[in-house]
Structure 1
Amino acid sequence: MDKITYIDLFAGAGGLSEGFKTAGFDPIAHVEIDQAACKTLTTRSSYHYLKEQNNLEIYNDYITGVIGRKELYKYIPNEIADSIINLGICEENNLEIFRQIDNQLSIKDIKEVDLIVGGPPCQAYSLVGRARSEHNMRRDPRNFLYVQYANYLERYNPKMFVFENVLGLLSAGSGIYLENMRKLFKKKGYSIEIFRVNAENFGVLQMRKRLIIIGWKEDFIPNIPNFDRYKSDINSFVNSAFDDLPELEDGQGSKICTYSSISNKYLEKAEIRNGNEFITQHVTRPHTIQDKEIYKIAVDKWNNKMERLNYNDLPDRLKTHKNRTSFVDRFKVVANNLQSSQTVVAHIAKDGHYYIHPDIEQNRSISVREAARLQSFPDSFYFEGVKEGTNRTAAFKQIGNAVPPLMAKIIAQQIKEIL
């Protein structure tokens, strides 16, 4: 049986794609504007290709620094590298993107596309983004990227599509954007069903609420499960994501290190610790003396009283922010005794105050690998920057913007049964 094919639009680092790939789908192309994320997609595509060739030693040689990135890519067929399209989806670029996707279809002798997945950037629909915008983001061109998404549906006529975005899409423009989406998709020949999902119900150790829109061609009626009510048997506490990782202080870590203990049931069931003998990107950012003093107060308050730190309760000498009425929880511990953490967002690339490690002795914000694990990325997944190196900031940004692969895989498995 031929593999089911898909195109990934607004691909980011490939969290959504990772779920579909591990569920047995075959990617035709990934389209992404961010250059660092495209490097990540190429490296991950290299991993999957070498794994299928039973030749992961080459990938491991790259991760451990034996060979460089350019040398890694030499082992990969050109069509795999060419399937990562580093362009922004817009009217000016669409013809070139179409040309490159069509070239992939021709090389792979694919007659039809089964699925399109992806979700446009969410800032224009998010409640926080709108609150910070002078015009409530009404003038943001990202409000209308769904029109571009529809152009790709019309061009490639997939049987189904999966569209991911933030819950704020429900209320953006008083609901007009979502209603216009429904009408436009209908015009292109697709019916849709909208699901409000929480990643923790899919086994992800993170509270991450999102919209998943499933669309299908109107010439068949799929039996789509109710993802709103899905409940995975994969569950644990947040400490399961951290307890086998070496202890670090702020500013410490390296590209690779070894595990500090054996695996646990959660990491095995979620396929996060997936066979490697080493960990990648367990690196932390440095902090000021003042921030570390605040971190200790926040951790002590949570670990001993199960209470969150309110910024206004800090000693006056530690208060440097003038805003004392909003974001008073700007310093927050990732509680290891809960079943889910707070949502990991791209802001983690700017500071780690909202993601304080629960171990008061380590006294730091979480590492790149810890953030990736909260998003359910496997330990073999390496996040690139534009240049080679640890690329901590680029990695955090990609992780925060991603769809959790574990949630994506479960959705993909259900779509696979339908197709």
Structure 2
Amino acid sequence: MQQLSLALELPDSKPVNPQWFQNLLSVLEVRQEPAWTDNFGKSLRQRLRQWGIAPVKTLSLFSGGGGLDIAFHDAGFEIVKMVELEAKYVQTLQKNAQLGKWLEGSEPICMDIRNYVPAPDLKVDFVIGGPPCQTFSAAGRRAAGVAGTTDSRGTLFQEYVRILKLLQPKGFLFENVYGITGANKGEAWQEIQEAFKEVGYSIYFRILDAADYGVPQHRERLFIVGVKQGKYLFPYPTHGFDSLAQQPYYSAAQAVEGSDTSDIEAGLGGRFGHLLDDIPPGLNYSFYTKEMGYPSPIFSWRSKFSDFLYKADPDVPVRTIKAQGGQYTGPFSWENRRFFIPELKRLQTIPDAYEVVGNRQVAIEQIGNSVPPQLGRILALSILDQVMDVDLPFDLAYLPPDKQLGFRQRKRKLTKTYLQKAQAAIIELSKQGKVKGLDASIYEEKREFVRFLSIDDFSWIEEPVANSVKIHLSCELDSSSWIIKANTNSNWDEPDKFSIDVYPSCGYDDWVLCTNSVKLCAKQLNTHVFTSLWKAFEEKLNEATGKADLVQLSGYYQYNARISGIMNFYCEEKIDLFWRVVQCVTRCIATSAQLKVKEFAEYWGVNEEDVVFYLQSLRAIGYEVRSHNTNPQIPLGEYLIPYAFPTLNPKSVQLRKVL
């Protein structure tokens, strides 16, 4: 792209050379090489001292592992105290506050902010920090809306405001996920803005992408800067398409080059670990979906979080590093392995010399929760310049208030690129014979076998464990039908007590089984047998197609279900109403939507006072049933049954929650 060569006249600022960031690097004598951000921080701190700029006394709240503290410390702020609740994170702060360490002179305080009262003699000019963001995060939105300030963690900003009111600093910086702006239909965001204004601050806010500021990671976060006097403009991006000099992004491969890889990490392992190898860099589990063109889909579209089996592309910044995640939570290296901790630090621009204390998971939590220091440094310099009125010996460029950044639009256009990558990879894998359709070996003569169903965690296993039920199974699978039978004994001469016919809901276009129907037959009207039939179907589905589970066959619950079941009874005795409820659920009646008790009663034809009992009974046979207790985003009095079949298993998050 052609570089701009003329100086720009921006509102409320003097003319700025488009090469302002390159000039800053020149002043600091920093070259953009691997780990250049470490040198940027060191040199910046040294030069500010040499220029006689007095440190700005600063209080850090919700300090975590210290990302913002590193940034502001390097940019001439003196972090006098760091308040953090988690003792395991405070150990990192204490280690790095020692003599000769990165945050030398800072004082970590392990305390709940609700109990923190600044000493009467504490005088600070600035406050930094961002409260825990889980209630505003993408995970919260995916669960069922956003809890926002209805969750106790979402009201921690009020403690931030309380401390601002007590200390009355010149300004503050507040960081959080951008989901905060949409929480509670925007009401939480209005509440937060008003709270800051009520204690005397004019606020300025923007959603920024860390990659635009020299971080090898796309990470969108909301930043609020509050000032007692004057105005504030956010700095121009230093890198990427919106930078004035069109400086290329700092790529993931450049960032990790030369980092410490002595602590060798094994491959992923587990049920899905092998799938990582064939995923093209930059893509995730969606590579194995119909929408990406995979001929024998393993997953359904949007049935997993976007970081599930996400493999980083070495030529561009990685996607957001998550603080929490499971075995298959990326980013993973393009070398088909987990990133080493030193590599993750580089991708977050945490200095190599900064010690992150704790085991791998604790370290990842601190890294993933941090504000990338390089982004923080640029923001800190802009605050030093505008809020603290420090005469810096170099120019900064500021975004006009109405200037729109383009990272969102560019992200929306990536789907086409991902599709092209996927199709090219599928062609290559097909040439190598790695892409296969339905496994024909699944078709077999009638076969009998035994499995055990754990009553405690719904595990489906070949050997008995404590509190498990022995289930006898019979399977006849061919291209015309799958017939799976279950019994608590081996007497197959008994008549069926019920059956479930499973069909595609929208025709056979999405039906991957290459058979006309699936019939699940039970020899007893028994809840364990019912659950076992679905478990056996899931097992055979995985063997035949590689699909991870029944959810991948049906699709994520927020879309129309692609399968439904018709349950028929053959018992002479009267059928209990609970089984009539189960019959409704298998037909997708009152599933996939948040409903009130009255609505469930109407759909199922039962009394309102019995609905909660039926919901608890469904939960007891393996159905995932959500409520306000399991997901605070769901209003009190409403419940959600995501799927028409039991989905609970030992790894289910919902298994550990109480309805």
1:409 lines up with 2:377 in the alignment: yes
1:372 lines up with 2:342 in the alignment: no
**Letter matched to residue 244 of structure 1:** G
Match of 1:39 in 2: 91
**Letter matched to residue 226 of structure 1:** F
Q: Distance in 2 between matches of 1:328 and 1:140?
A: 22
Match of 1:143 in 2: 154
Q: Distance in 2 between matches of 1:343 and 1:196?
A: 15
- Equivalent of residue 221 in structure 1, options 197, 205, 230: 230
Q: Which of the pair is proportionally richer in helix?
A: 1
- Equivalent of residue 393 in structure 1, options 361, 370, 394: 361
Deviations, residues 141-185 of structure 1 (Å, cap 9, x unaligned): 112111111100011110000000111011111111221122111
* Contact 1:310/1:328 (8 A) holds in 2: no
Distance 1:286 1:94, change over 3 A: same
1:356 lines up with 2:367 in the alignment: no
Aligned residues: 324
Residue 347 of structure 1 deviates from its aligned partner by: 2.2
Residue 245 of structure 1 deviates from its aligned partner by: 3.5
Q: Distance in 2 between matches of 1:167 and 1:200?
A: 16
Residue 417 of structure 1 deviates from its aligned partner by: 1.5
RMSD: 2.9
Match of 1:243 in 2: 257
Structure having greater relative contact order (Cα 8 Å, sep ≥ 6)? 1
Distance 1:309 1:181, change over 3 A: closer
Give the 3-state SS of the residue equivalent to 1:331 in structure 2. Answer: coil
* Contact 1:334/1:358 (8 A) holds in 2: yes
Match of 2:428 in 1: none
Residue 353 of structure 1 deviates from its aligned partner by: 3.8
Residue 45 of structure 1 deviates from its aligned partner by: 1.4
Identity of aligned residues (%): 27
**Superposition map of 1:252-401 within 5 A:** 253-254=262-263, 284=265, 287-288=268-269, 290-298=271-279, 301-302=280-281, 309-312=286-289, 325-327=302-304, 329=306, 330-338=308-316, 340-348=317-325, 350-359=326-335, 363-385=336-358, 391-401=359-369
Match of 1:50 in 2: 100
Q: Distance in 1 between matches of 2:93 and 2:314?
A: 30
Distance 1:200 1:315, change over 3 A: same
Q: Distance in 1 between matches of 2:265 and 2:354?
A: 17
1:10 lines up with 2:62 in the alignment: yes
**Letter matched to residue 100 of structure 2:** L
Q: Distance in 2 between matches of 1:168 and 1:179?
A: 13
Q: Distance in 2 between matches of 1:33 and 1:328?
A: 28
Match of 1:88 in 2: 112
Q: Distance in 2 between matches of 1:307 and 1:125?
A: 24
Distance 1:33 1:239, change over 3 A: same
* Contact 1:333/1:357 (8 A) holds in 2: yes
* Contact 2:173/2:225 (8 A) holds in 1: yes
Residue 315 of structure 1 deviates from its aligned partner by: 9.5
Q: Distance in 1 between matches of 2:273 and 2:146?
A: 37
Give the 3-state SS of the residue equivalent to 1:414 in structure 2. Answer: helix
* Contact 1:31/1:87 (8 A) holds in 2: yes
Deviations, residues 312-344 of structure 1 (Å, cap 9, x unaligned): 46898x96x8x7652275211111022x11111
Q: Distance in 2 between matches of 1:151 and 1:351?
A: 39
* Contact 2:136/2:177 (8 A) holds in 1: yes
Match of 2:650 in 1: none
* Contact 1:202/1:234 (8 A) holds in 2: no
Match of 1:279 in 2: none
Distance 1:13 1:191, change over 3 A: same
TM-score, reference length from structure 2:
0.46
Give the 3-state SS of the residue equivalent to 1:371 in structure 2. Answer: helix
Distance 1:138 1:179, change over 3 A: closer
Q: Distance in 1 between matches of 2:138 and 2:364?
A: 21
* Runs (5+) with no aligned partner, structure 1: 53-58, 60-75, 106-111, 248-252, 255-282, 386-390
Give the 3-state SS of the residue equivalent to 1:351 in structure 2. Answer: coil
Q: Distance in 2 between matches of 1:291 and 1:134?
A: 29
Match of 2:204 in 1: 193
Distance 1:142 1:380, change over 3 A: same
Match of 2:172 in 1: 161
Q: Distance in 2 between matches of 1:85 and 1:284?
A: 34
- Equivalent of residue 238 in structure 2, options 214, 225, 231: 231
TM-score, reference length from structure 1:
0.70
* Contact 2:284/2:310 (8 A) holds in 1: no
Give the 3-state SS of the residue equivalent to 1:412 in structure 2. Answer: helix
**Letter matched to residue 50 of structure 1:** G
* Runs (5+) with no aligned partner, structure 2: 1-52, 240-246, 389-659
Distance 1:315 1:193, change over 3 A: same
**Letter matched to residue 148 of structure 1:** E
Give the 3-state SS of the residue equivalent to 1:29 in structure 2. Answer: strand
Q: Distance in 2 between matches of 1:119 and 1:295?
A: 34
* Contact 2:284/2:309 (8 A) holds in 1: no
Distance 1:141 1:352, change over 3 A: same
Residue 137 of structure 1 deviates from its aligned partner by: 5.4
Distance 1:327 1:27, change over 3 A: same
* Contact 2:161/2:199 (8 A) holds in 1: yes
Residue 130 of structure 1 deviates from its aligned partner by: 3.2
